[in-house]
Structures are given as structure tokens and as C-alpha cells.
Chain A
Amino acid sequence: MKFMKALLKNESQSEINHARNRQFITPDVNIYETKDGYVLEAEMSGVNKDGLSVTLEGHEITIIGTRTVEAEPGEALFRERQNADYRRVFELDPAIDTERISARMNQGVLFLTLPKSEAVKPRVIKVDE
């Protein structure tokens, strides 16, 4: 589909569309749920906290990781690493308290903590007589 669109593009627009159709890597993630909320871990090597953007729109969370620009130390003999930035979108459980989402980066891994709002947490109800 992306390829078809690219063919229909006219030349004067190509630069704008290039930005719009920017190639991203989908980072590998782990997602866990506990009784307090969710933990999301995303692998984005080459990204530090300055290159990280987490945006929330309704119940959709978008993670974008922009790599730190590295100087090429000479001529490449062998290359496997991709230079593209990272992007991935998730739909959130409505139970998540979006006001209290927190993020931290550690050695190219994003740790996102998504707490559930107090109202939806399981509660023990005491039985009176």
C-alpha cells in the first residue's frame, strides 16, 4: 500500500511525503499487567530520554524514539544496524489513569508504567454480620 502511494506521488510533493511516510522500526515490546496497572518495556537502542516522545490522544498512546545522531567512525565494512527511528502505537485499557503514566529510559529500553485508576482496582468488601 505504501508502495502504491509512493508511485502516485508527484515530484514537488515528494519531500513532504517523505517526512510523512518516514520509515520507522517497530520496537519489540513486553507488556505485563498487575493488579496495580500495566508495565510496557520497549527496546529502542540508540535512543536516550531526549529522543523519546510519548504522546497520548484519547485512549491511544504513541511512542516515538529518535536516535542520537552518531558520527560514522570511518568506512562501513559491514552494516546490520538500521538507522531509522522507532514508532509504535497502542490502544490503552480505559481503566488506565492517564494522568499518572510515567516513563523512564535505561540503556535503550523504555519502561512505561501505566497505573490503573483507583476506581477500577479490585476491592475487598467487608461483610458485616
Chain B
Amino acid sequence: MNIVRWQRPGLANWPDFGRLSDLRDEIDRLFESPFTELTRTSRLLSGWTPALDVYEDKDNFTVKAELPGMKKEDIEVTLHDGTLSISGERKSESKHEDAEVYRAERFFGRFQRTVTLPTRVAADKVKASYTDGVLTITLPKTEDAKPKYIDVSVN
């Protein structure tokens, strides 16, 4: 791929279709990705929707989100009524005022994602960590939400 000169569009979040090559990239994505993937990543339909996984084992829910290039203090994680919300703002790390922009594919600005958890979690025991651009949130289930096994003796 060549380094192609890129012009900054007037609006920060406007799809960057100023160049034919950008339009071609977008059409390529259309054929390469499954539809759900497209709606999530396409610049046509949204700003930035970080990819997210939710896992469950018998004690915890684990949520992993890809948030490359953030500062820890710019990530907000809240839990309200069984709904986990991850939001924040990504700011450009370096200033490039006198620089020419050749490619601008990274998104800077605010994002938000919410996950409704299937069972109750212990809000005071939720833990979050951020490494290599991946946010990991561990949400322990409350005792009454864990599956229970009762021995029934059959006579």
C-alpha cells in the first residue's frame, strides 16, 4: 500500500470520502466483513464502537473491550441497575498542527457502550484493568445469582 496524501475533511466525524481510494476501501470492507461487523466498524454508520466480548463462568462475568491508545483516567466504567456502561474519550497523543496528514483512519472523540448483564452482580466487587489497549472488567455474581444444587433424596 502506498502512502497517499489525505485531506482533512471539514467535519471531524464526516465519512472521509474525499478521495476515491477511501471509497474503494469502504467498498472492500463491505465485501470482506460479515454484516454485523460492518455496522460496527463502518465509518459510514458510526463514529467509534469499540469491539467487546462478554464471558461468563460460574462466579463471574468478564467484559473485554478493545480501546487502543487511551489514557486510563479517560475511561469511565459505571454499573447501574445491572447495566454496565463503558465510555470515555480518546484524545490524540501528539499534536500535528503543522504536519500534513497522509492517512487519518483512527477515531478520536467520545464513545459509549452498554451491556445489560443477565444476572445480578456484586457492584462493590467489580474490578477493571487496562493493558495493551484492552480493558478487562470482572464482575462477580452475587451469591443468590449463582446456580444452586440441592440434593434431593429419592426414596
Binding site for B on A (CB under 8 A): 28-34, 38-39, 41, 43-48, 68, 70, 72-82, 88-93, 105-109, 111
Map CB proximity to A onto B58-99 as digits: 1 under 8 Å, 0 otherwise.
101110101111100000000000000000000001101011
Q: Is A68 touching B132 in the complex (CB atoms < 8 A)?
A: yes
Do residues B99 and A109 form an inter-chain contact, with CB atoms below 8 A? no
A44 in contact with B56 given A81-B51, A88-B1, A91-B2 (CB within 8 Å): no
13 contacts between A and B (CB under 8 A): A32-B100, A33-B100, A34-B96, A34-B100, A45-B68, A45-B132, A46-B132, A47-B132, A73-B138, A91-B3, A107-B67, A108-B133, A109-B93
CB distance from A23 to the nearest CB of B (A): 11
Q: Are B66 and A81 in contact (CB under 8 A)?
A: yes
Interface range on chain B (Cβ under 8 Å from partner): 35 or more
**A43 → chain B closest CB, angstroms:** 4
Is the C-beta of B151 less than 8 angstroms from some C-beta in chain A? no
**Is B40 interfacial (CB 8 A cutoff)?**
yes
Collect the chain B residues with CB atoms within 8 Å of residue A48's CB. 131-132
Q: Which of B42-58 contact A (CB under 8 A)?
A: 51-58
Which positions in B face A, CB cutoff 8 Å? 1-3, 6, 36-37, 40, 51-58, 60-62, 64, 66-70, 93-94, 96, 98-107, 115, 118, 130-134, 138
The residue that B106 contacts in the complex, of A43, A80, A89, with Cβ under 8 A, is A43
- Contact of A81 with B64 at beta-carbon distance under 8 Å, contacts A46-B132, A91-B2, A91-B3 already known: yes
Q: Please measure, in the bound complex, the distance between the C-alpha atom of A73 and the C-alpha atom of B94, giving whole angstroms.
A: 35
Contacting pair B70 A32 (CB below 8 A)? no
Partner of B98, one of A34, A82, A105, A111: A34
B98 touches A108 (CB 8 A): no
Bound Cα distance from A81 to B37, whole angstroms: 10
A107–B133 CB distance below 8 A: yes
Contacts of B3 in A (CB 8 A): 31, 38, 90-93
CB distance from B113 to the nearest CB of A (A): 10
Min CB distance, A32 to chain B, in Å? Answer: 4
Cβ B102 vs Cβ A45 within 8 A: no
Q: Please give, as numbers and ranges, the residues of chain B lying within 8 Å of A92 by CB-CB distance.
A: 3
CB distance from A63 to the nearest CB of B (A): 11
B55 touching A30, Cβ below 8 Å: no
Q: Which residues of B contact A68 (CB under 8 A)?
A: 132
User: Which residues of the partner chain A approach B68 to less than 8 Å between Cβ atoms?
Assistant: 43-45, 107-109
User: Is B54's CB under 8 angstroms from A76's CB?
Assistant: yes
Q: How far is the CB of B132 from chain A (nearest CB, A)?
A: 5
* A74-B56 contact in complex given A90-B1, A109-B69, C-beta closer than 8 Å: yes
